[in-house]
Amino acid sequence: MILYTPVAITDIYPNTSDLFENRTFIEHEGKLIAVDKNTDGSYKLIQLLSTDPQDFLNDNYCPGTVIN
Protein backbone atom coordinates (compact mmCIF):
# COMPACT_ATOMS: atom_id res chain seq x y z
CA MET A 1 0.00 0.00 0.00
CA ILE A 2 1.27 3.45 -0.90
CA LEU A 3 -0.11 6.44 0.94
CA TYR A 4 0.37 9.83 -0.68
CA THR A 5 -0.30 12.57 1.84
CA PRO A 6 1.17 15.89 2.99
CA VAL A 7 0.64 14.82 6.60
CA ALA A 8 3.69 13.80 8.63
CA ILE A 9 4.22 10.08 9.16
CA THR A 10 4.07 10.57 12.93
CA ASP A 11 0.52 11.91 12.56
CA ILE A 12 -0.55 8.83 10.64
CA TYR A 13 1.38 6.27 12.69
CA PRO A 14 1.77 7.60 16.23
CA ASN A 15 4.51 6.28 18.47
CA THR A 16 3.46 2.77 19.43
CA SER A 17 6.68 1.68 21.11
CA ASP A 18 4.88 1.29 24.46
CA LEU A 19 2.71 -1.42 22.88
CA PHE A 20 5.80 -3.49 22.09
CA GLU A 21 7.76 -3.12 25.33
CA ASN A 22 7.03 -6.73 26.34
CA ARG A 23 7.68 -8.13 22.84
CA THR A 24 10.67 -10.38 22.37
CA PHE A 25 11.84 -13.08 19.97
CA ILE A 26 12.61 -16.55 21.28
CA GLU A 27 13.37 -19.96 19.83
CA HIS A 28 10.84 -22.60 20.86
CA GLU A 29 11.17 -26.20 19.64
CA GLY A 30 13.58 -25.02 16.94
CA LYS A 31 11.22 -22.32 15.60
CA LEU A 32 11.72 -18.58 15.93
CA ILE A 33 8.63 -16.86 17.34
CA ALA A 34 7.65 -13.39 18.48
CA VAL A 35 6.09 -13.43 21.95
CA ASP A 36 4.75 -11.07 24.58
CA LYS A 37 5.72 -11.82 28.18
CA ASN A 38 2.75 -12.15 30.54
CA THR A 39 2.79 -11.02 34.16
CA ASP A 40 2.88 -14.65 35.39
CA GLY A 41 6.10 -15.34 33.47
CA SER A 42 4.54 -17.26 30.60
CA TYR A 43 4.66 -16.12 26.98
CA LYS A 44 1.84 -15.40 24.54
CA LEU A 45 2.70 -16.30 20.95
CA ILE A 46 2.21 -13.36 18.60
CA GLN A 47 3.89 -14.42 15.36
CA LEU A 48 5.70 -17.41 13.90
CA LEU A 49 8.75 -16.51 11.82
CA SER A 50 9.41 -19.39 9.44
CA THR A 51 9.98 -20.09 5.78
CA ASP A 52 8.49 -23.58 5.98
CA PRO A 53 4.78 -23.54 5.02
CA GLN A 54 4.18 -26.72 7.07
CA ASP A 55 5.04 -24.83 10.27
CA PHE A 56 1.97 -22.63 9.83
CA LEU A 57 -0.30 -25.70 9.77
CA ASN A 58 0.91 -26.77 13.23
CA ASP A 59 -1.67 -25.86 15.90
CA ASN A 60 1.10 -25.32 18.46
CA TYR A 61 2.07 -22.10 16.67
CA CYS A 62 -1.34 -20.42 16.43
CA PRO A 63 -1.35 -16.75 17.52
CA GLY A 64 -2.53 -16.45 21.10
CA THR A 65 -1.08 -19.77 22.23
CA VAL A 66 0.38 -19.57 25.75
CA ILE A 67 3.89 -21.00 26.16
CA ASN A 68 5.20 -21.80 29.64
pLDDT mean over 15-36 = 85
Q: Report yes or no on 27 lying in a domain.
A: yes
Spatial distance between the Cα atoms of 21 and 17, rounded to a whole number of angstroms: 6
Domain region containing 35: 22-67
Spatial distance between the Cα atoms of 53 and 13, rounded to a whole number of angstroms: 31
Spatial neighbors of 50 by CB under 8 A, at least 6 apart, are 31, 32, 56
pTM: 0.69
Please check the confidence at residue 21 and state whether its pLDDT lies above 80.
no
| Torsion, Cα of 55, 29, 16, 5 (10° steps) | -30
Domain count, the chain: 1
Q: Report yes or no on 30 lying in a domain.
A: yes
Residues 57-67: pLDDT tens digits? 999 999 999 99
Q: Report yes or no on 1 lying in a domain.
A: no
Q: What average pLDDT does the chain have?
A: 88
Q: Report yes or no on 15 lying in a domain.
A: no
Q: Report yes or no on 3 lying in a domain.
A: no
